[in-house]
Amino acid sequence: MKVLVVENDPVSQEILAGVLPKWGYEVVRAMDGVEGMDKIMLPSSPDLVLLDWMMPRMDGLGFIRKVRSEVKDNPPYIIMLTSRNEKKHIVTGLESGANDYITKPYDKDELRVRLDVGKRMIELQQALLKKICDLESALKQINVLEGVIPICMYCKKIRDDSNYWNQIEGYIAAHSNATFTHGICPECYKKIVKESIDK
Protein backbone atom coordinates (compact mmCIF):
# COMPACT_ATOMS: atom_id res chain seq x y z
CA MET A 1 0.00 0.00 0.00
CA LYS A 2 1.27 3.49 -0.88
CA VAL A 3 1.95 6.10 1.80
CA LEU A 4 2.17 9.75 0.80
CA VAL A 5 4.67 11.56 3.03
CA VAL A 6 3.90 15.28 2.96
CA GLU A 7 6.84 16.78 4.84
CA ASN A 8 8.98 19.82 4.02
CA ASP A 9 11.87 18.86 6.31
CA PRO A 10 14.27 16.78 4.16
CA VAL A 11 15.75 14.92 7.16
CA SER A 12 12.33 13.88 8.52
CA GLN A 13 11.27 12.87 5.02
CA GLU A 14 14.42 10.74 4.54
CA ILE A 15 13.89 8.95 7.87
CA LEU A 16 10.31 8.07 6.95
CA ALA A 17 11.32 7.06 3.43
CA GLY A 18 13.86 4.71 4.98
CA VAL A 19 11.62 3.03 7.55
CA LEU A 20 8.26 2.72 5.75
CA PRO A 21 9.43 0.22 3.09
CA LYS A 22 10.68 -2.05 5.90
CA TRP A 23 7.06 -2.20 7.10
CA GLY A 24 5.78 -3.09 3.64
CA TYR A 25 4.73 0.37 2.47
CA GLU A 26 5.60 2.10 -0.81
CA VAL A 27 6.62 5.72 -0.25
CA VAL A 28 5.46 8.70 -2.32
CA ARG A 29 6.95 12.07 -1.35
CA ALA A 30 5.71 15.67 -1.37
CA MET A 31 7.37 18.77 0.06
CA ASP A 32 4.17 20.68 0.86
CA GLY A 33 0.38 20.56 0.62
CA VAL A 34 0.25 21.80 -2.98
CA GLU A 35 2.58 19.03 -4.19
CA GLY A 36 0.68 16.60 -1.96
CA MET A 37 -2.63 17.49 -3.62
CA ASP A 38 -1.07 16.84 -7.04
CA LYS A 39 -0.14 13.31 -5.87
CA ILE A 40 -3.55 12.66 -4.27
CA MET A 41 -5.42 13.60 -7.46
CA LEU A 42 -3.54 11.04 -9.58
CA PRO A 43 -5.49 7.91 -10.68
CA SER A 44 -3.27 5.62 -8.59
CA SER A 45 -3.13 7.94 -5.60
CA PRO A 46 -1.82 6.80 -2.18
CA ASP A 47 -4.41 5.54 0.31
CA LEU A 48 -2.48 6.60 3.41
CA VAL A 49 -1.01 10.02 4.16
CA LEU A 50 1.57 11.06 6.77
CA LEU A 51 1.17 14.82 6.99
CA ASP A 52 3.19 17.58 8.63
CA TRP A 53 1.32 20.67 9.85
CA MET A 54 3.71 23.57 9.23
CA MET A 55 4.68 23.78 5.55
CA PRO A 56 5.04 26.52 2.92
CA ARG A 57 2.41 27.27 0.25
CA MET A 58 -0.24 24.97 1.77
CA ASP A 59 -0.01 23.77 5.36
CA GLY A 60 -1.37 20.50 6.76
CA LEU A 61 -4.78 21.86 7.70
CA GLY A 62 -5.24 23.41 4.27
CA PHE A 63 -4.28 20.11 2.66
CA ILE A 64 -6.79 18.14 4.76
CA ARG A 65 -9.66 20.54 4.05
CA LYS A 66 -8.93 20.47 0.32
CA VAL A 67 -8.73 16.67 0.25
CA ARG A 68 -11.98 16.29 2.19
CA SER A 69 -13.80 18.70 -0.14
CA GLU A 70 -12.46 17.26 -3.40
CA VAL A 71 -11.88 13.53 -2.84
CA LYS A 72 -15.26 11.88 -2.20
CA ASP A 73 -15.24 8.35 -3.63
CA ASN A 74 -12.19 6.82 -1.99
CA PRO A 75 -10.72 9.34 0.48
CA PRO A 76 -7.26 8.70 1.96
CA TYR A 77 -6.61 7.92 5.61
CA ILE A 78 -4.68 10.94 6.94
CA ILE A 79 -2.34 10.82 9.94
CA MET A 80 -0.98 14.17 11.09
CA LEU A 81 2.65 13.81 12.17
CA THR A 82 3.67 17.11 13.73
CA SER A 83 5.61 18.77 16.52
CA ARG A 84 2.47 20.68 17.55
CA ASN A 85 1.64 18.71 20.67
CA GLU A 86 -0.76 20.87 22.67
CA LYS A 87 -4.27 19.56 23.26
CA LYS A 88 -5.80 22.42 21.26
CA HIS A 89 -3.62 21.49 18.28
CA ILE A 90 -4.69 17.84 18.44
CA VAL A 91 -8.35 18.88 18.62
CA THR A 92 -7.94 21.31 15.70
CA GLY A 93 -6.14 18.70 13.59
CA LEU A 94 -8.78 16.04 14.15
CA GLU A 95 -11.65 18.50 13.71
CA SER A 96 -10.21 19.59 10.37
CA GLY A 97 -10.59 16.02 9.07
CA ALA A 98 -7.45 14.09 10.07
CA ASN A 99 -8.09 10.45 10.95
CA ASP A 100 -5.25 10.28 13.48
CA TYR A 101 -2.69 12.53 15.13
CA ILE A 102 0.86 11.71 16.25
CA THR A 103 3.23 14.19 17.84
CA LYS A 104 6.97 14.48 17.19
CA PRO A 105 9.26 13.07 18.38
CA TYR A 106 7.32 9.88 17.67
CA ASP A 107 7.86 6.29 18.69
CA LYS A 108 8.49 4.14 15.60
CA ASP A 109 6.47 1.19 16.92
CA GLU A 110 3.51 3.47 17.63
CA LEU A 111 3.75 4.95 14.14
CA ARG A 112 3.89 1.46 12.61
CA VAL A 113 0.79 0.19 14.44
CA ARG A 114 -1.16 3.36 13.69
CA LEU A 115 -0.32 2.99 10.00
CA ASP A 116 -1.50 -0.62 10.23
CA VAL A 117 -4.80 0.60 11.69
CA GLY A 118 -5.13 3.03 8.79
CA LYS A 119 -4.36 0.24 6.33
CA ARG A 120 -7.12 -1.95 7.83
CA MET A 121 -9.57 0.96 7.68
CA ILE A 122 -8.72 1.60 4.00
CA GLU A 123 -9.14 -2.11 3.17
CA LEU A 124 -12.54 -2.18 4.89
CA GLN A 125 -13.56 1.04 3.11
CA GLN A 126 -12.51 -0.38 -0.27
CA ALA A 127 -14.35 -3.67 0.37
CA LEU A 128 -17.49 -1.73 1.33
CA LEU A 129 -17.19 0.51 -1.74
CA LYS A 130 -16.91 -2.57 -3.97
CA LYS A 131 -20.02 -4.10 -2.41
CA ILE A 132 -21.93 -0.83 -2.92
CA CYS A 133 -20.82 -0.68 -6.58
CA ASP A 134 -21.82 -4.33 -7.09
CA LEU A 135 -25.20 -3.67 -5.49
CA GLU A 136 -25.82 -0.56 -7.59
CA SER A 137 -24.88 -2.48 -10.72
CA ALA A 138 -27.24 -5.32 -9.79
CA LEU A 139 -30.09 -2.90 -9.04
CA LYS A 140 -29.69 -1.31 -12.46
CA GLN A 141 -30.31 -4.70 -14.04
CA ILE A 142 -33.23 -5.75 -11.84
CA ASN A 143 -36.70 -4.35 -11.46
CA VAL A 144 -38.64 -6.90 -9.43
CA LEU A 145 -42.41 -7.37 -9.67
CA GLU A 146 -43.92 -7.74 -6.21
CA GLY A 147 -47.31 -8.44 -4.70
CA VAL A 148 -50.30 -10.46 -5.95
CA ILE A 149 -50.73 -10.44 -9.74
CA PRO A 150 -54.24 -11.40 -11.00
CA ILE A 151 -53.86 -13.78 -13.94
CA CYS A 152 -56.56 -15.57 -15.97
CA MET A 153 -56.39 -19.30 -15.36
CA TYR A 154 -57.29 -20.03 -19.00
CA CYS A 155 -55.66 -17.51 -21.32
CA LYS A 156 -52.97 -16.31 -18.85
CA LYS A 157 -53.72 -12.61 -19.40
CA ILE A 158 -52.97 -10.32 -16.46
CA ARG A 159 -55.37 -7.69 -15.10
CA ASP A 160 -53.74 -4.32 -14.48
CA ASP A 161 -54.71 -1.60 -11.99
CA SER A 162 -57.17 -0.08 -14.51
CA ASN A 163 -59.01 -3.40 -14.78
CA TYR A 164 -57.73 -4.06 -18.32
CA TRP A 165 -56.49 -7.51 -19.29
CA ASN A 166 -53.05 -7.59 -20.92
CA GLN A 167 -50.91 -10.24 -22.50
CA ILE A 168 -48.36 -11.42 -19.95
CA GLU A 169 -45.38 -10.09 -21.93
CA GLY A 170 -47.00 -6.64 -22.23
CA TYR A 171 -47.68 -6.47 -18.50
CA ILE A 172 -44.15 -7.55 -17.52
CA ALA A 173 -42.55 -5.17 -20.04
CA ALA A 174 -44.59 -2.26 -18.63
CA HIS A 175 -43.69 -3.08 -15.01
CA SER A 176 -40.02 -4.04 -15.30
CA ASN A 177 -36.91 -3.55 -17.39
CA ALA A 178 -37.40 -6.89 -19.13
CA THR A 179 -37.76 -7.15 -22.88
CA PHE A 180 -39.12 -10.14 -24.77
CA THR A 181 -38.00 -12.11 -27.78
CA HIS A 182 -40.45 -14.67 -29.08
CA GLY A 183 -39.71 -18.28 -29.96
CA ILE A 184 -41.53 -21.60 -30.12
CA CYS A 185 -41.12 -24.31 -27.49
CA PRO A 186 -40.90 -27.98 -28.64
CA GLU A 187 -44.40 -28.83 -27.34
CA CYS A 188 -46.06 -25.95 -29.20
CA TYR A 189 -44.08 -26.76 -32.32
CA LYS A 190 -45.44 -30.32 -32.35
CA LYS A 191 -48.98 -29.38 -31.35
CA ILE A 192 -49.46 -26.19 -33.43
CA VAL A 193 -46.75 -25.52 -36.00
CA LYS A 194 -46.04 -29.05 -37.21
CA GLU A 195 -49.73 -29.88 -37.23
CA SER A 196 -50.40 -26.81 -39.42
CA ILE A 197 -47.55 -27.74 -41.77
CA ASP A 198 -48.77 -31.33 -42.07
CA LYS A 199 -52.23 -30.13 -43.04
pLDDT tens for each residue of 2-12 = 999 999 999 99
In the predicted model, what is the mean pLDDT of the chain? Answer: 90
State the pTM of this model.
0.69
Comparing CA positions, the residue from 40, 64, 38 lying closest to residue 51 is: 64
Within a domain: 150: no
Supply the CATH number for residue 58's domain.
3.40.50.2300
Amino acid identity of 148?
V
Q: Please report, to the nearest 10 degrees, the dihedral formed by the alpha carbons of residues 158, 149, 156, 186 taken in order.
A: 120
Domain span at residue 175 reads 158-198
Per-residue model confidence as pLDDT tens digits over 84-116: 999 999 999 999 999 999 999 999 999 999 999
pLDDT band with cut points at 50, 70 and 90 for residue 163: confident
Neighbour tally for 20: CB within 10 Å? 20
Within a domain: 125: yes
pLDDT above 90: residue 145: no
Percent with pLDDT over 90 in the chain: 61
Amino acid identity of 10?
P
Within a domain: 145: no
Q: Please report, to the nearest 10 degrees, the dihedral formed by the alpha carbons of residues 17, 19, 65, 63 taken in order.
A: -20
